[in-house]
Structures are given as C-alpha cells and as structure tokens.
Amino acid sequence: MLTVCPYFHVHQPYRVKRFRVFDIGTDGEYFNDESETDLNNRRIVEKVAEKSYRPTNRILQQLLADHPEFRFNLSFSGTVLDQFEAYAPDVLESFQALVATGRVEILADTYHHSLAFFYSIPEFTRQVKQHEKRIKQLFGVKPRVFRNTELSYRNDLAKWCEDNGYLGIMAEGWDKYLGWRSPNFLYRPAGCSRIKVLLKNYKLSDDIAFRFGNQGWANYPLQADTYADWIHAHHGDGETVNLFMDYESFGEHQWEDTGIFEFLRALPTMVLRHPDTSFKTATETVESYDAKGEYDVPDVLTWADTDRDLTAWVGNDIQRDAIAATYGMEASVMKTRKRDLIETWRKLQTSDHFYYMCTKWSHDGDVHAYFSPYQSPYDAYIAFMNALSDLQLRVQQHHDSKARALVEALDDDAETIPVPVVKSRPQMVQKPPVDPVEEVAPEVPEVVVPVPVPPPSIVAQVRAWLGSIKLRLPW
C-alpha cells in the first residue's frame, strides 16, 4: 500500500504600504495601500483569486466528486481568511464547500503566519489558539496535525505540539537529517513519544511547485502520467508520499499556460490507476502508519532555498533588527489589552515582511527566486520600521493617557488645573524590550506646569509641585 498525502498552503500577508517617516504619529493605517502596485492587498487577493483560487477550487471540487478516494489537506493563515472574507467571500465559500466533503483536512497553523515560536512561545501559543478558533468558526473542524510557518521546524516545536495534543506535525524531509533514510515513512521527532512527523518529499513536491513551468527543465512539459509513475516507483520503499506546496502553485506561481490545471485535473486518475495506491489526509496517514525511526532536528529547518533554514527571513542585520524590534514590544503592546493595537502588531509579525528585506539574492544574482512587492529590501525595511515606530508610538500614547487619567482621577480640583498634555517623542525602535518592573509602574513623563499659574489654593499648589516632579503612580 502506498498513499499520497498532498497539502496545499494558502496564504496572503497584509503588505505594509509605503509608510513614510512623516506618517509616524499621523496616519495609523499600514495595510490600506490603494495604488496600482503589488502593495495593494485587495488588488492582490482579487488577482490571485482570479488566477488561482477560483479555477483551482473548481477543479478540486470536481475531483472530489469524481474520485471517492481523493483526499488532500489545506492550511490557511488567518490573514488570508480575513482577506477572503473582506475582498473575495465567494472564494472562502468555495473552500468551505471543499472541507464540507469530509475528505479535506485543515491543518493547524499560526494565525498570522509568524515565526513567533522562535521568538516568544506565549505569543505563538496565543496565535495557534486564535487560528484554531477561527477554523472552528469558519469550517466547523478542529485541526489535529500541525504545520508551522514556512514549514519551520525544530525538535522543541514537535514537543510543544505533542504536549498540546496534536497527532502529527509536518516538516521538510531534508537529507541532512534523514541521511540514507527515505522521507516516505513517518518518523518520531527526537524527544517525543507519541507524535509523528510527516516529511515533505521535496523532490516530487518541487517538481510541481518550482519546476513545472520551467522550459529548460529536462522533464518539461511534465505530464500527469509520468509524474504518477514517479510516485508509483516508491512502492516497496515507502508508505506515504507527502506532497507539500503553496496552494498558489496552481495558477499563480505556475501560470495557466504552463498546463498546470490540466495536470492537476488528470493527476488523481493517473495516481489511482495503480491498484495499490490511494490518497490519505494527514490524520489518516498518521493513524495508518507507525514511526520508522527518529527524526532529530536540533536547528531550525524550513522548506526555503537550498539552505533550508531561516536565513531568507532573518539572515541579515536589517531583518534581525526588524524582528527583534517587533517582538521587543510584546510586553507593552499586550499590556494595552486593546484589540486593534494587538491585532496590528500581530499583522506585522507575518514572516513575509522580513522576507521582503532579504538580500541573499544580491550575492548569487538569483533575483527571481525572491518575490517582493517592494523595489528593494531597504524600501521594505523602511516602510516596515516606520509603521512599527508608529505602532510603538500609539502603544506609548495609550499607556500615557491611562496614566494621565489616573492623575486626573486623583485630582479633586481638576477643573482649575489644566492637566498638561504629555508629549512623547516617537520611540526609537532599537530600544530594548520594556523592563517588566516599569511595566508594573509606568512613569509619567516629566511634565512642565504651564503658565498661567493656577489659583493660589494650597491643593492646587501641591498639584503643581507634584506635576513638576517625576510622579510614581501607586499601581
């Protein structure tokens, strides 16, 4: 028995518009670009919906109807689901129809397509929960197999998933960790006792995702029967062929004129032609097969590049600076308990923002391997950091206004004494995370009592003195 476990990842980020220094403290909207460029999120979703989501879902729905054995998995970022809801509700409905067949499994994920696991496990946990809730609300199912952003993986992530009740987790089947072994079996993550890891067969996956439309490729044009033969060749040396790829491979990365849709339409028939071959969802796969050995990944493994690490996201100084600044504000942004501020902060955690700042390609000249809506990595960094500075300012203003409200509450003579407006300067983002002690007792910035001097009541006088010294509030 050989089964095929396909999984398509659906994702769109909220791209940050060209947010300028002048906009810090005045604009407050980062994702509402309305230009004719690829920074316009609505425009992108509408374009990809037309090129990829709608035609592909039609084909998948038909394939499910034609082949009772056909099964596959989907993973969604919360950010793409939100954008479907806003910009292309029919696409969301077509996904719901696929899931309603009961033969399409949804995988667990972070809501914001973030790398939070490697920076803040509490935040990561919150995003996974948020994602689970959203999937439940839209599709009525609870994911049982986990996949992390960009297929990033490490032993401790598998352990976290096991501890949180997941049956399986997905990872790249990378030679460095597999050695002579085949990716076409299940393995046990190092340090775990129950959870199993499904490994991507990167060769067969990338034949579709990356090489399909490459006219210079020896196997171009790839036909479904040839491809099915390659799958069938694993009879005897494997149990499950895991084909993991971006959903947008169909119609967006590989355009319609490459023949990708005909390929997809024909594939199940060709795979099922072999008598002992079928499809399984991730959960079925995990429940059907035993782990054949240990998969030990002490360092971060992803599905990107030839490096299979995080260097495309945090490989240079500006990337590391931006991501450190983002997670550095966790304590202060969470303390606001303001939904919109927290949500905006999370949208800025989406890994794509850091990917756009990648400069790896400038060394090997492989420009086209890195898609970005910005004209340069530095444009991406500037827009992002300016937006983040604005968010930091808003968070700071929130804390300041709360502190001010408290001063007012203390003041029974409030009407005669104007409370000076606290002017805070935009915070430099290189600032280290806020000291938790200060979090408990935030300082009111030094304020200067304005002229004219308040009426000469003693209470007012005391207020005035208090106002001019650093006031430590009692909470």
In the complex, the residues that contact other proteins under the rule CB under 8 A are 18, 20-22, 316-318, 321, 359, 362-363, 375-376, 378-379, 381-382, 385-386, 389, 428-430
Smallest distance from other proteins to CB 123, Å: 23
Residue 24 or residue 145: which is nearer to other proteins going by CB? 24
Residue 150 designated active-site: yes
Q: How far is the CB of 430 from other proteins (least distance, A)?
A: 7
Q: How far is the CB of 362 from other proteins (least distance, A)?
A: 4
Instruction: Please identify, using beta-carbon distances, which residue of 23 and 150 lies nearer to other proteins.
Output: 23
Q: Which is nearer to other proteins, 186 or 429 (CB)?
A: 429
Measured CA to CA, the distance from residue 143 to residue 125 in angstroms comes to 15
- The residues near 420 (Cβ < 8 Å, ≥ 6 apart) are 447, 448, 449, 450, 467
Q: For other proteins, give the closer residue by CB, 21 or 453.
A: 21
Nearer to other proteins, 130 or 359 (CB): 359
E strands present in 30-140: 72-76, 104-106
Catalytic pick among 34, 85, 132, 150 = 150
> Distance between CA 291 and CA 176 in Å, rounded?
19
Report the nearest approach of other proteins to the CB of residue 21 (Å): 4
Question: What is the closest distance, in whole angstroms, from the C-beta atom of residue 324 to other proteins in the complex?
Answer: 10
Q: Which long-range contacts (CB under 8 A, 24 or more apart) does 307-310 make?
A: 308/172, 308/174, 308/176, 310/115, 310/118, 310/150, 310/152
Q: Which residues contact 380 (CB under 8 A, 6 or more apart)?
A: 16, 353, 356, 357, 372, 374
**What is the distance of C-alpha 105 from the center of its chain?**
19
Beta bridge partners of 146: 108, 169
Joined tokens for residue 361: 């390609």
Could you give the CA distance from residue 99 to residue 55 in angstroms, rounded to a whole number?
17
Least distance CB 394 / other proteins (angstroms) = 17
User: Rounded to an integer, what distance in angstroms lies between the CA atom of residue 325 and that of residue 459?
Assistant: 43
Residue 225 CA to residue 232 CA, distance in Å, equals 10
User: Which element (helix H / strand E) includes 69?
Assistant: none
| Residue closer to other proteins, measured from CB, 305 or 343 | 305
Residues catalogued as catalytic: 150
